[in-house]
Amino acid sequence: MDILDGKKIVLGVCGSIAAYKVAQLARDLTLAGAQVDVIMTEAATRFVGAATFQALTGRPVLGDMWALPENGAVGHVALGARADVVVVAPATANRIARIAAGMSDDLLTTTILATRAPVLLAPAMNPQMYASPATVANVATLRGRGYTVLEPDEGRMAEHVVGKGRMPEPHTLEGAIRALLGRSGPLGGYHVVITAGGTHEPIDPVRYIGNRSSGQMGYALAARARDLGARVTLISGPTAITPPVAVTLVRVETALEMQSALADAVADADMLIMNAAVADFRPIEAAEQKIKKRGDAGLTLHLVPNPDLVAGLADRREFFKVGFAAETNDLLANAQGKLERKGLDMIVANDAVLSIGQPEIALTLIDRGGVASLPQQPKATAAAALLDQIVARFQRWLLH
């Protein structure tokens, strides 16, 4: 189930041109199953119409504290009290100052003052205003109070100024909201390290030995682990996929680089999900210059074995280890052999021929308790279902 499903999100929209981007966020959150209550400030309505948010969320847009559906004294605090998260986007300099000062002079400030839910602010303003001592102090106050204040992006602003002050894109806001909601999830407080993609082993400055791993599964596992509350380190081989928001991304190229990134990341890990397709061999050395054709002569590459990264961590018993096995034959026997040989707590096997380049995948899960399977399904839902299965086994492992 999507972490956003059934969640109550209060979305405070303030008066900045970036308000138009928040319409997309309201739509994405609603489509993911959240109940989104939009509060628009007076100034916000000068940039985007309330009808836009009403249509996208399917709920009345709120603004005037004195015209709430729930009338009377409780009405103005009810929204904050029942929210799972309160988001202010775009958060203007004026709004940040008023929240920092603890004011409650309109519905949005009152809601924030009255809520116990996590609060997320996405500043958007002119770069000079963002850098002003007053705003810097206000942001520090809010962070000190436990609020999450996102860093604005750098770039060209609406009024053609270039600098730091642009509101992050809707998918970044959504990722930050997911991470906040996940805090109370089953992986809350745990550090999960995930490797993804294939490695590139250089032959010369322009060529490499690689494999067909796309990284999709590892990236989807990372997003799901974040949604369930984990602090995620994603160690990724080269890929073009957009990384999930609110995970620490470490980009590597070769197996040896992945080995050293892993050594750093697992120092305080609770779980390692070794999804990367690590090249088993690398050229003994990469040529410094591009290798040239020499008539009809062929080229022989001398390959040496790469270390087995996860097997090298076999004696590290302080974190839960999950490996993968894509096999073309003897799936169960081969995967079981790897589980033992590599000192894993669990291995996820699949048929390489049936799954590479295909939209769907069926998975076989093996641990010392037995064998289970996940039916063939689209890779995105398979990743979420797999992570839930991993979490269930991790929780059992913690008890031992």
Residues that bind ligand CTP (CB under 6 A): 255, 274, 276, 278, 280, 306, 308-310, 323-326, 338, 342
Q: Of the two residues 247 and 322, which places its CB atom closer to ligand CTP in the complex? A: 322
Angle separating helix axes 216-227 and 379-398, nearest 10 degrees: 50
Distance CA 62, CA 12 (A): 9
Please pick, among 71, 211, 329, 350, the residue that the annotation labels catalytic.
211
The least distance separating ligand CTP from the CB of residue 264, rounded to whole angstroms, comes to 16
Tokens of 86: 């309160």
What does the CA dihedral 368, 372, 377, 380 come to, rounded to 10 degrees?
-30
In the residue annotation, 350 being an active-site residue is answered as no
Looking at beta carbons only, is 181 or 255 nearer to ligand CTP? 255
Helix or strand holding residue 201 (H, E): strand 201-204
Dist CA 197 CA 208 (whole Å):
15
Q: Give the C-alpha separation, 325 to 362, whole Å.
A: 13
Q: How far is the CB of 306 from ligand CTP (least distance, A)?
A: 5
What is the C-alpha to C-alpha distance for residues 268 and 107, in angstroms, rounded to an integer? 43
Looking at the Cβ atoms of 40 and 277, the one nearer to ligand CTP is 277
CA-wise closest residue to 3 among 229, 222, 190, 217: 229
**Rounded Cα–Cα distance for residues 242 and 196 (Å):** 13
Which lies closer to ligand CTP via its Cβ, residue 62 or residue 222? 222
Measured in degrees and rounded to the nearest 5, phi and psi for residue 289 equal -120, 160
CB of 321 to ligand CTP, least distance (A): 9
Give the separation between CA 115 and CA 100, rounded to whole angstroms: 14
- Hey, which residues does 110 pair with through a beta bridge? none
Taking the complex as a whole, how short is the minimal distance between the CB of residue 282 and ligand CTP, in angstroms?
10
99 or 344, CB closer to ligand CTP? 344
Task: Give the list of residues 6+ apart from residue 126 with CB closer than 8 angstroms, or none.
Answer: 157, 159, 161, 163, 165
**Which lies closer to ligand CTP via its Cβ, residue 14 or residue 196?**
196
* Minimum distance of ligand CTP from residue 134's CB (angstroms): 50
| Calpha distance 285→394 (Å, rounded) | 40
What's the min distance (Å) between Cβ of 35 and ligand CTP?
39
Q: Which residues are catalytic?
A: 211
